[in-house]
Amino acid sequence: MRFILLLALLLPMRAAWAAPQIFPSSAGELAVETIAGGLVHPWSLAFLPNGRMLVTERPGRLRIVTRAGQLSPPFAGVPEVYAQSQAGLMDVILGRDFATNHTIYFCYAERADGGGGRIAVASARLEDNGRAPRLIAVKTIFHQQGPASRGLNIGCRMVQASDGNLFVTLGDHFSAAEMAQTLDNHIGKIIRIRPDGSAPPDNPFVGKPGALPEIWAYGLRNAEGLAFNPANGTLWEQEHGPKGGDEINIIEKGKNYGWPKVSYGVNYDGTPVGTGKARMPGVQDPIWHWTPSIAPSGMAFYTADLFPGWKGSLINGALKFELLSRLTLKGNTAVKEERLLQGLRERIRDVRQGPDGALYLLTDNSAGRILRVAPQK
């Protein structure tokens, strides 16, 4: 009887998933279908070579999700995480040599002495026997230096460059914003590290007294999007502003991005940020900003043929505004925005282009889903 009742409860859910939601767009009507559910605050998605998906859940779980939506058991071997508010198990990427060595990289909040958490980056090898996947040879290659976060403004996105070096975003931890302007800590920074965690010798602050050698850029608030632009190889980042002033920046070696001295937004109590100005000499200007804040999270450059009119666009997820923002680009300039899926009513945590050219989204809630966005047939 209990099995029959459970089946009766599941059937309507699966039937609902079978019917995509339809939304208008400049590319015609979009069909949004649920690929998988049952994920708790999913944070990051990476496609495996066989089309399956590697997905992190913020409380500290890593799973494989099949193309049919089946969830593996949680991986064994994942380190304990500090799971509080925005902190937990966050980004995951496949190593550039994954096909030969099954190496992945992931970042997570590790518990700090005295409470709170700091970002750590780890490498591991994925062992997938189809029944009980696990991580082996887990090695924490980077530990963040600076005051711990109580779960706010913690980051953390990663990309790997063609030379193998990793770029990682690190937030300002909300209460330590002023440290984003000093180089003796990893607060409010983007770091560049080798796959073993060491600092490449051509990093901009190597050898500078009082500066940490891993730092690549500084003056950032809470960056939750990071991607290379395939058109020109530049590194793009997007971050949460305070009340207004969410930004997209092109990240350059050794540059200062201004937080908390300048911002297009204001503090949550309405008082000015820093100088009260949006720009100042010696600080890089964003190429785009959102005021009011949409709370951007997850970004992807679209390069496939499924949406031919969108090739070269930058797609950003939004948490607070519960939408996708598509930016039309002209070189290193964003010239127009299209807001998509505004009736979806889901916080979008991650955005990825799939092997089939569709867009795949993670929804940020305790009943999180993987969504596939494609033209309506």
Residue pair 361/371 in contact by the 8 Å Cβ criterion: yes
Q: What's the pLDDT tens digit per position in 242-256?
A: 999 999 999 999 999
Tell me, what's the pLDDT at 131?
75
Tell me, what's the pLDDT at 17?
61
Locate 93 and state its tokens: 């990427």
Locate 22 and state its tokens: 């339809």
Tell me if 17 is assigned to some domain: no
Tell me if 1 is assigned to some domain: no
C-alpha span between 160 and 264 (Å, rounded): 30
CATH code at position 305: 2.120.10.30
Q: What's the pLDDT tens digit per position in 6-47?
A: 333 333 334 446 689 999 999 999 999 999 999 999 999 999
Tell me, what's the pLDDT at 18?
61
Read off the DSSP letter of residue 18: H
Tally of domains within the chain: 1
Tell me if 357 is assigned to some domain: yes
Tell me if 108 is assigned to some domain: yes
Tell me if 213 is assigned to some domain: yes
pTM, 2 dp = 0.94
Q: What is the pLDDT along the chain (377 residues), one digit of tens a residue?
A: 443 343 333 333 344 466 899 999 999 999 999 999 999 999 999 999 999 999 999 999 999 999 999 999 999 999 999 999 999 999 999 999 999 999 999 999 999 999 999 999 999 999 987 678 999 999 999 999 999 999 999 999 999 999 999 999 999 999 999 999 999 999 999 999 999 999 999 999 999 999 999 999 999 999 999 999 999 999 999 999 999 999 999 999 999 999 999 999 999 999 999 999 999 999 999 999 999 999 999 999 999 999 999 999 999 999 999 999 999 999 999 999 999 999 999 999 999 999 999 999 999 999 999 999 999 98
Q: What are phi and psi of 100, to 5 degrees?
A: -105, -30
Ramachandran region of residue 294, left (φ > 0), alpha (ψ -120 to 50) or beta? Answer: alpha
Tell me if 355 is assigned to some domain: yes
Tell me if 12 is assigned to some domain: no
Q: What are phi and psi of 2, to 5 degrees?
A: -65, -40
CB-count exposure of residue 345 (10 Å: 0-12, 13-18, 19+): exposed
Tell me if 5 is assigned to some domain: no
Query: Which domain range does residue 159 map to?
Result: 22-375
